[in-house]
Every structure is written in C-alpha cells, then in structure tokens.
C-alpha cells in the first residue's frame, strides 16, 4: 500500500510542477504599455522581404510557447473602408484588414549569417487601420503568434524575423496595391532598445532587402539575402519571446518537490 501511495504522490507532484510552468519572457523589447506609434521599417517602401534581429535569451526557460511583435500600420481607415471593397484573403474592409505574416526563428549562427531555421509559422493576422483623426503617422499594435504546438527548445542565441508580401516586394509579391503596402515593423527607440529581458547588439539587425544601397555596406555582402546589417543604433526591432521550462526541467522540479514532501513527512 505504501508503494501505491508513493507512486500516486510522484504523479501528483509532477502534474503540479507542469501546471506551475507558466510562460515567461526570455527576450523582450516591447514596452509594457505601447505608445501611440514608433519608428518603423516599411516593407514596401524599403524593398524588404524579411527583417529581424539576433538576440541572446535571458532566464532559463527555453521551450518556445509564443512570440509577440509590434507592428505599425500607416494605412488609414478612411482610405480603405469603402463599401464593396475588399483586400487580402477575401476579407472585407472595416476596422482593419487581414494579412499573412510569417515569424521565423533561426539558430543564432555566426558572423553575418543566421543558422538553420528551427521554427516558422505563417498566420493570417488582423491589422487595425490608423483611426480617423489619428495624430501620428503610424498606429502601433501587437500581433501574437502561438508557437506552443511546435515543441521547439531554443538555443541561447537565435535570429528571429518577420516576413510578409507587399505589392512588389516579399518572397512572393502580391502584384496588387493594398493596405499591406503601409504595414511596418516597429522599432523601439527608447534607451537600451527598450530591452527588459535578454540582450542584443543594438547596432545590428538582420535584413533582406533587394535594394543594395539600403544596406550599410551598400550591398557589398549580398543583396536580396537575409543577413546582418549594421548602423541601427537607436532603432531596435520589437518582439517579446515567451517560453516555459523544458520538460526535463519540469520533471526535475517535480522530483525536488517529492523529496521535500517526504522530508516533511
């Protein structure tokens, strides 16, 4: 009977440990309260297919659960909210539009190249228009990607990116005008890049633009390829990456709890 009680206690403790494994930020450069707008990178305006950053994760949790990015939309409500008019993915115009955004996560790699792709998800995301009478050029908003079903354990260093298509740019240009031409990725210009967890080289980002002069080196290290770029100090791409302890860590926590329980008894 004692053996049965101990086995049940172990299962109970492990289940409790799993329940306590709440997701936490392992890298965060998003303000806890968003400002109305931020500096931002326009994909159509800068011939961009993909843009992101190499970051070093903080904390100890490494099993990826979600990522939130800050987008800044310059598309105005009054320009697109026209009866009978619709855009991308058959969505009717209204308070916003839907557009496919792809979040990629690579191993950190070395030098000016990312490592192997370790996670990718494409999501039909809702983007709110810039409201009528808005005092800023852009309207900041967060988009969250659920990555919990991928079962990916992150390395200490990663390169993350957002990719999407516009009228004439992206990996598969749409070929038609739409509000996505005014959609940008937010850049935090707060001191220290707005980072509260983890770290990055604030002078560098990763970028794929087909226009060489946009790169700091004028395109000498390659054009139209996702690679490191420099001289970005003061403009840090905005993302909050969330993770939970890997299963092995949760099991260790459960066993530690069981030992403590036995000692108390």
**Contact, 208 vs 48, CB < 8 A?**
yes
User: Average pLDDT of 197-225?
Assistant: 98
Phi, psi of 13 (to 5 degrees): -65, -40
- Percent of the chain beyond pLDDT 70? 80
Boundaries of every domain in the chain: 1-21+246-265, 23-244
| pLDDT score for 247 | 83
Comparison of pLDDT for 264 and 120, the residue scoring more: 120
Question: SS3 letters for 161-214?
Answer: EEECCCCCCCCCCCCCCCHHHHEEEEEECCHHHHCCECEECCCCEEEEECCHHH
Q: What is the mean pLDDT of the chain?
A: 87
Instruction: Give the pLDDT confidence score for residue 166 in this predicted structure.
Output: 98
Checking if the pLDDT of 97 tops 60, the result is: yes
Residue 13 has pLDDT above 60, yes or no: no
> How many Å apart are CA 13 and CA 19, to the nearest integer?
10
CA-to-CA distance for 146 and 254, rounded, in angstroms?
26
| The predicted structure's pLDDT at residue 3 | 36
Predicted pLDDT of residue 95: 86
Over residues 232-239, mean pLDDT = 98
């Amino acid at each position: 009977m004692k053996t049965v009680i101990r086995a049940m206690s172990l299962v109970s403790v492990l289940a409790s440990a799993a329940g306590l494994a709440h997701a936490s930020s392992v890298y965060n450069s998003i303000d806890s309260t968003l400002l109305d707008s931020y500096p931002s990178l326009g994909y159509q305006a800068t011939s961009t297919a993909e843009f992101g950053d190499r970051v070093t994760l903080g904390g100890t949790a490494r099993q990826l659960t979600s990522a939130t990015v800050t987008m800044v939309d310059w598309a105005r409500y009054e320009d697109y909210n026209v009866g009978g008019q619709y855009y991308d993915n058959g969505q009717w115009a209204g308070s916003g539009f839907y557009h496919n955004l792809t979040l990629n996560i690579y191993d950190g790699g070395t030098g000016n190249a990312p490592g192997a792709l370790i996670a990718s998800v494409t999501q039909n995301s809702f983007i709110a228009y810039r409201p009528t009478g808005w005092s800023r050029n852009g309207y900041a908003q967060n988009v969250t990607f659920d990555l919990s079903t991928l079962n990916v354990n992150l390395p200490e260093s990663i390169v993350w990116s957002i990719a999407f298509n516009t009228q004439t740019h992206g990996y598969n240009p749409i070929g038609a005008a739409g509000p996505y031409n005014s959609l940008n990725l937010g850049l935090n210009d707060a001191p220290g890049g707005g980072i509260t967890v983890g770290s990055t080289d604030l002078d560098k980002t990763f970028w794929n633009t087909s226009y060489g002069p946009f790169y700091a080196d004028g395109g000498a290290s390659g054009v139209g390829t996702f690679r490191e770029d420099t001289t970005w100090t003061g403009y840090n791409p905005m993302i909050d990456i969330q993770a939970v302890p890997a299963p092995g860590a949760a099991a260790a926590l459960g066993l530690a709890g069981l030992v403590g329980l036995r000692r108390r008894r």
